Amino acid sequence: MALLMGIDVGTSSTKVIIIDESGKPLAHASSSYRISTPASGWAEQDPEWWWAAVKEATKRALKSPEVEPNRISAIGLSGQMHGTVLLDKDSKPLRPAIIWADGRSKRQCEEIYETIGREKVLEVTCNPVMPGFMAPSLLWVRENEPSIFQQIDKVLLPKDYVRFRLTGSFATDFSDASATLLFDVRRREWSNKMLSTLFLQPELFPKPYESANVVGEVSRACSRETSLPRGAKVVAGGGDSPVGAVGCGVVETGIVSSNIGSAGQIFAVLDEFNVDQRLRIHTFCHAAPRKWYIQGAILAAGLAFSWFVENLGFAKAFKPGENPYDLLLKEADAIDPGSNGLIFMPYLLGERSPHMDPNARGVFFGLGLHHGRAHMVRAIMEGVAYALRDSLEIFRELKVTANRIVARGGGAKSRLWREIQADVFNSEVVTMRVDEEAAFGAALLAGVGRGVYRDLHEAVEKTVKIMNFVQPDPNRVAVYDRYYQDIYSRLYPVLKEYFSIL
């Protein structure tokens, strides 16, 4: 029986999973790294950190007693989206990669709108122009680091750099390329209009493929470095959001996924192309062939919780050996829905959907002497759910059906966070019996590319199973509706001007 491997190049770590054809995980491992912030608002990572993490996690996964390395027949890739990797003519990184959380290119975003026009940007890219995406990041490098820009031979997305190290070949996929702001999302090809108007050479960018297409194989050099079998097929893969959706079975219309990781996304599959004309949410190509998806993205989801624990000193407030996250979740579970009138806006890094405002900032609203840290923790969790609901309301405006919501990411592992989502969204929430959905989805794409599964639908049917159901509680739904409608949804319009002044 063939084994399949998935690699997810995430923001804080790279994860590797090895599964058999039934979807049974035989091994998994991860290796962490950090985000470098050399200036205020910047977010960078050295591509070599990703490759070192891939090697470390792969070697540990291959040591599992259930894994025979030579049986690994195909490898799939998932990765953090929007990032910009610049290589010279010797295929060496010219500078650290500028990643999705970077905010330096606000002026370049305005320049794109001024040069091309909002209507044309919407027509081609189907997305708002925001810092951290590849297009404005490239313009920033051209303006501020011209000597580096002149040396660029290839521009890659993060997971595509890892595939280059695996195979020695350059490629990308429709889903990841569609999130660069240089891609014609409707036609699923690089946009000549965007590239020519911004004076970017088409040959800098790799050819895009469907996510399950085989685009290379493990090279001799990679096999020596990783112990992976030489010649194992490597598929195009995709962005972590659509590949994670594949990993938890979201490949058909009517199913919505809610991902609470470092950032947060709410995601729905489209059989027919659709776009929000007001540019409040994103439309991208799905990793499933000939499909698209709409997505609302927030920049600080689980990150808001970890910020509270780490930066406000609560990580040190407990005894050695105690997990502060688990203990704070237990405290928050004892607080009534609505956090006794405390509301949190999770805009610690600015915000994308639906406000598209890099100036937005986090807010605790309604603090009183009667509030303690447990109220604040629960308010953070509720605020993340409110922020995701903002996009879900836009889905409903666009007549996108949400019969069921699949909880993903770290938020799916918390019973309390699953319940909060079910009540805030007023929808059934389920979780799948899958850890590391993006790496698992990457492995399923590898299986399709290798012919282990006929298509993604068969792959999902054979491997993805529901584990937990949470139904909304009518009493809690009423509480959250009141807080969301009467307060949360009205706060941003009032504070927008003051965020800009700040």
Q: Where are the alpha helices (DSSP H) in 269-311?
A: 302-311
Burial class (CB in 10 A: 0-12, 13-18, 19+), 324: middle
Name residues whose C-beta falls within 8 Å of residue 206's C-beta, 6 or more positions apart in sequence: 154, 156, 160, 170, 171, 172
Distance CA 376, CA 311 (A): 14
Active-site residue, from 173, 240, 390, 423:
240
Q: How far apart are CA 450 and CA 233, in angstroms?
A: 7
Residue type at position 502: L
Closest to 181 in 3D by CA, of 141, 133, 242: 133
| Rounded CA separation 294/272 (Å) | 11
Yes or no: say if 469 and 430 are a contact pair by the CB < 8 Å rule.
Answer: yes
d(CA 381, CA 421): 9
Q: Which of 468, 362, 477 is nearest to 422 (CA)?
A: 477
Q: Is 455 a catalytic residue?
A: no
Q: Give every CB contact of residue 415 below 8 A, 6+ residues apart in sequence.
A: none
Active site residues: 240
